[in-house]
Chain A
């Protein structure tokens, strides 16, 4: 504990600011040690000098003017009044300062006591704060998502550009002056939001319908936290996304509806087709029967009145009706094959071929045909349709080996790209590979009617059946050296 210093002047030594006392001529008459420290001068170097020695050269004239203004109307001026004061140290460096001025009248005349404080540190802090604040403000202002702060009552404390624009305002200011922040489409939503906030202190990813300034409805995704009385939140405009979702939903419903319509149409068409082919085949057969019947009646009753030519004509008529009947049957089969549903099950192809072979033998027991049938070839498919396909293939082989005294028909499988390719091979009439492309066309024949009868639908039917099973069918042949028909089936 010390005693108070002896004179007032000594007190000045303990003041942490630089004290400079200037007389009416502007000369320094007293400084304290802090002044020495701050400005880098010794006391003696300053006493008697004009106070402008402490001011940067460029500002000296201005300072003189200020000083004279001050002298004309001196009054105590505390710190914080002037903001751009710059001081000059002895070493030529400058620093920002804050100054207070106090005029006094003394025996030595009018004096001004100035308290000079180096505010470099303060300025630096202020700048740092300013920068920081700017940084965060920029972040919020320029965010793409909407950011806001409001009171619990709904008064806006802050909105960023993005949010203002979301609500259809030109700028945040427009929005603040425009009214309450949360313009709910369904007022109940506000209650929900508030409840959640009070309960958990926050809401996350709440989908809300809001009204914009123009009264449009938009969909917003809102997240907010409650800190005391202040709500801080983020808003994302998901109107676009919601509309897209709705579009997709509508498109899907549309699509479903159309699929159902099409399926019904298809079913109806199929039914019509069925009725059509049924009635067509029925109605076509009737007149054929008449033609054939009365031709035969003619042949029988007027035999003596007909010459050979006449008889020949009638025979041809009957042959033609026979062909047409076969055609009708084949076409009916083909269309039925296309329309019928596929029921997949295990099918023993070897057994099927055996059965068909024995049927063929029963129909024409006089023929000598050797069958070589690979056993145990089992697959998955529609048993009925596969039977029709094999009947056609084997029937063809049977027919086209008709002229061979030693006819041989084989059934087996070869491996092709990991899948079995089944084949029916015969040593019959064969065909010219040049016409291989026509083989499977409907009504296409590679042989003359007189050589081998047929309507040309058999292979078209086979192809349709195989294709419906997801497989392929192709042929290899040589004229008079037999033919091999291959087919694959998909397993699914």
Chain B
């Protein structure tokens, strides 16, 4: 019999990778998550390069224990150095992490961005609302869904 409800212990160990270059948006996203009672560890990558370094254990994150992977990636599209779509493309083309849930979290509502994101395999596309109360509500729903309700893909162990 599978355990339907997550225990506090394994709920807390779930990591969120937030890829966001705007410090205001970073602060507000964290605030929104917190006020929705989502207290998980949030790793923040401030550009595409950092995000990939974290996921592949390179650069600033060289030597990281790669058995610990984020439960979900909240990915902004407009990022310096390597942009969001490229990060998505890389995630989806690497055997170890290609099933990782990626939620595009961006201010763009442009059709071509939505199409490109889904084409490259994004699981979800959320438009960051300007209204903060709405934003908080969205963050709460996001957190509850991807961290609690959703069954995440297992992480392949390194042989």
Interface residues of A (CB under 8 A from B): 278, 282, 285-290, 292-297, 300, 318, 321-322, 325
Contacts and interface: CB of A to CB of B under 8 A. Distances in A.
Interface stretch (B37-45, B49-57, B79-87, B129-137): B129-137
A293 B134 CA distance: 10
Interface stretch (B20-28, B116-124, B140-148, B150-158): B20-28
Closest 10 pairs between A and B when the two form their complex, measured CB to CB: A290-B24, A293-B28, A296-B132, A293-B132, A325-B130, A285-B107, A288-B130, A292-B132, A289-B130, A282-B108
B130 A322 contact: yes
Nearest to A324: B130
A375 to B, nearest CB: 32
B110 A278 contact: yes
B108 A290 contact: no
A322 B130 CA distance: 7
B107 A289 contact: yes
B28 A289 contact: yes
A202 to B, nearest CB: 70
A286 B107 contact: yes
Given A289-B24, A296-B133, A321-B130, A278 B31 contact: no
Chain B's interface size range is 10 to 19
A325 B128 CA distance: 12
A282 B107 contact: yes
B78 A290 contact: no
Interface string B55-79: 0000000000000000000000010
A10 to B, nearest CB: 131
B119 to A, nearest CB: 18
B22 A286 contact: yes
Contacts of B108: 278, 282
A288 B31 CA distance: 17
Given A278-B110, A282-B78, A286-B107, A292 B131 contact: yes
A289 B133 CA distance: 11
Contacts, number: 54
B31 to A, nearest CB: 6
Contacts of A297: 28, 31, 132
B78 A289 contact: no
B83 to A, nearest CB: 13
B126 to A, nearest CB: 13
A297 B107 CA distance: 20
A285 B133 contact: no
A285 B130 contact: yes
Given A282-B78, A296-B132, A321-B130, A290 B110 contact: no
A289 B110 contact: no
A427 to B, nearest CB: 32
Contacts of B130: 285, 288-289, 292, 321-322, 325
30 contacts: A278-B110, A282-B78, A282-B108, A282-B110, A285-B107, A285-B130, A286-B22, A286-B25, A286-B107, A289-B28, A289-B107, A289-B128, A289-B132, A289-B135, A290-B22, A290-B25, A292-B130, A293-B24, A293-B27, A293-B31, A293-B135, A294-B24, A295-B132, A296-B132, A297-B31, A318-B131, A318-B132, A322-B130, A325-B130, A325-B131
A399 B23 CA distance: 38
Contacts of A321: 130-131
Contacts of A295: 132
Contacts of A325: 130-131
B61 to A, nearest CB: 27
Contacts of B133: 296
A300 B130 CA distance: 17
Contacts of A296: 132-133
Contacts of B131: 292, 318, 321-322, 325
Interface string B88-125: 00000000000000000001101000000000000000
A234 to B, nearest CB: 69
B101 to A, nearest CB: 24
A290 B28 contact: yes
B76 to A, nearest CB: 10
Contacts of A285: 107, 128, 130
Contacts of A294: 24, 28
A378 B133 CA distance: 42
Nearest to B135: A293
Contacts of A292: 130-132
B75 to A, nearest CB: 15
